[in-house]
Amino acid sequence: MLVIDGKKVPYEEGKTILEIARDNDIHIPTLCAHERLPSFGACRLCLVKVHGTKGFMNSCTTPAKPGMIITTHNLEIKKLRRAIFELILSEHPSSCMMCSQAEHCDKFNSGIMKAGVITGCNTCPNKEICEVRAIADELNFKSIRFPLFYKELPLERNDPFFDRDYNLCIHCGRCVRVCQDIEGEGILVFTKRGHDTKIGTSFEKPHIETNCAFCGACIDVCPTGALSARGQKWYEDPDERVSTTCMLCDKGCHFEVDVKWGRIVALRPDPNYKTVKTGICVKGRFCLPTMLNDTERLRFPRIRKNFKLYPTNWDEAAIRVREILESYPPSKIAIYLSSFLIDEAEYLFSKFADQLEIHNIFRKPEDLKKIKKNGIKILYTTEGLPELKKYKDSLESIIFQEVFPAEGFELADVVLPAAAFTEENGTFTTTQGPMPIEKVVKAPGLALEDWKIIAKISQELDLSGFKYIEAIEIQQEMERVNFKLERPEIDEYYLKYRGTPIAEKVPDFDLLLKYRKDREKPW
């Protein structure tokens, strides 16, 4: 047992005073401590009085001991915290926190975060979640007794994804620790000493010239607006925040996605999934919004008439698919299943193929060689394939179900626009097991979830058992029949989403790949 603020709390070996206090709902203000990071003891805001010892101790670095009697709040501690906080703010823009009109300011200045170097809370991309502002409120900060020092550091924008304004940095060291101790990259260090201390890379190289993985973990732990995601920092209050799983590879990282005006505007690791290492990669963290908001997404079904593709509706498209599939025996038909289909779509395609007795199921580009070998005449593909051109003379018809007009689109007889994984509900089995896929935004135009498309076509073909309303019904059926997925793995370093190279849609990613072209693993 130990006593904190007069309350008896259980002792746990290996825990700090701060951890035990938090376990017992006793609040101690902190800035440099972070639940995912080893303690550092930089800011000293968490100081407490341990009775029987001299002075004050950092609760975040002091191991708890049985029998300790601790005071976390009294007038003396409050004064000390105020003084420490004022010192921190003497080197951090603080005018907005002291302004007598601060409470009226937000309603007039809600959209001016596009400032270059940040001079106050109202231009800071972090203002909604700022931990410094929270401490200012807690300590009732209204004035500062120390001379103010503005560092006049230039905004750093010399890499594709970050804006770094070290005028806001409070030297808490969280970014250094997360990069070194959690992500295992060690890109960030304290450069220079004393008054000139600054965070940066070794030799102040641009991040793109280091091994920075652009995972964004440093941004996520920064308590200030010093580090921000360039393309995602302009949006204040999202209309909605939805959690889902990334499907750009098999790791199954969980994201919390911000939605505004029906579009994905920002995302970050989902705080409800506490893994030690976020492990999120640059594709998921920084490329997803640009990629999926792309204006060239397929929006309408199309059918070929007189050598040209014309937009149409789903009924006409389904009739055309039926006519094509009925024009050859099943042995002459092949289905190419993309690894990016959710489990429910994969299952429905397999049920569809079983009922039609289609046995040519392709899963890798090499499988296309069977087109000539098996005399395939009709290919129903769910992914754009550069190799398709080679086989166009052997094929009579191509049914093309995709998110983008990827390679092979121009050869299609019917185009079926599919929803991306942020536009559907379902499950995606990753290396961690089945993960929930949540609909974050509506699919563009008439695009439909892959499972709805194949269900519609199955109904047009009079196949039985394809009337579903929600993906959950398919999931339940998959469990009943004990369906086994055969999807090949998607490597973390795979550079496409379905048939479209990510770099083609995200110029910043293209830049990263070109810059690091000699590396086997570019991030």
Residues that bind ligand FES in the complex, under the rule CB under 6 A: 30-33, 41-46, 58, 60
The residue among 346, 323, 453 whose CA lies nearest residue 401 is 453
- Cα–Cα distance between 367 and 381 in angstroms, integer? 12
No. of helices (H) and no. of strands (E), the chain: 16, 23
Question: Per CB under 6 A, does 199 bind ligand SF4?
Answer: yes
| DSSP code at position 236 | -
Question: Per CB under 6 A, does 89 bind ligand SF4?
Answer: no
Decide whether 86 or 294 has the Cβ nearer to ligand FES: 86
First to last CA, the chain: 47
Residues 468-497 binding ligand SF4 (CB under 6 A) are 492
Considering CB distances under 5 to 8 angstroms, the limit depending on partner class, which of ligand FES, ligand SF4, none binds residue 227?
A: ligand SF4
Decide whether 34 or 268 has the Cβ nearer to ligand FES: 34
Decide whether 46 or 280 has the Cβ nearer to ligand FES: 46
Are residues 461 and 281 in contact, defined by beta-carbon separation less than 8 angstroms? no
Binding ligand SF4 (rule: CB under 6 A), the pick from 40, 85, 141, 214 is 214
Give the phi and the psi of residue 489 in degrees, each rounded to 5. -70, 150
- Cα–Cα distance between 380 and 100 in angstroms, integer? 66
Give the phi and the psi of residue 482 in degrees, each rounded to 5. 55, 55
| CA 312 to chain centroid | 34
The residue among 144, 89, 146, 86 whose CA lies nearest residue 121 is 89
Considering CB distances under 5 to 8 angstroms, the limit depending on partner class, which of ligand FES, ligand SF4, none binds residue 283?
A: ligand SF4
Q: Which helix (H) or strand (E) holds 227?
A: strand 227-229
Minimum Å gap between C-beta 178 and ligand FES is 15
Using the rule CB under 6 A, give the single segment among 74-82, 242-250, 304-312, 403-411 that binds ligand SF4.
Answer: 242-250
Binding ligand SF4 (rule: CB under 6 A), the pick from 57, 213, 334, 440 is 213
Strand partners, 482: none
Binding ligand SF4 (rule: CB under 6 A), the pick from 60, 226, 333, 335 is 226
- Cα–Cα distance between 45 and 56 in angstroms, integer? 11
Are residues 178 and 37 in contact, defined by beta-carbon separation less than 8 angstroms? yes
CA atoms within 13 A on the CB side of 166: 19
Residues 159-198 binding ligand SF4 (CB under 6 A) are 169-175, 178-179, 183, 185, 187-188
Decide whether 218 or 455 has the Cβ nearer to ligand FES: 218
Question: Per CB under 6 A, does 93 bind ligand SF4?
Answer: no
* Binding-site size, ligand SF4 (CB under 6 A): 38
Minimum Å gap between C-beta 60 and ligand FES is 3
Decide whether 249 or 334 has the Cβ nearer to ligand SF4: 249
Strand partners, 381: 336, 400
Minimum Å gap between C-beta 225 and ligand FES is 19
And the tokens for 161? 């994804």
Contacts with ligand SF4 by CB under 6 A lie at 169-175, 178-179, 183, 185, 187-188, 199, 212-218, 221-224, 226-227, 246, 248-249, 251-253, 280-281, 283-284, 492
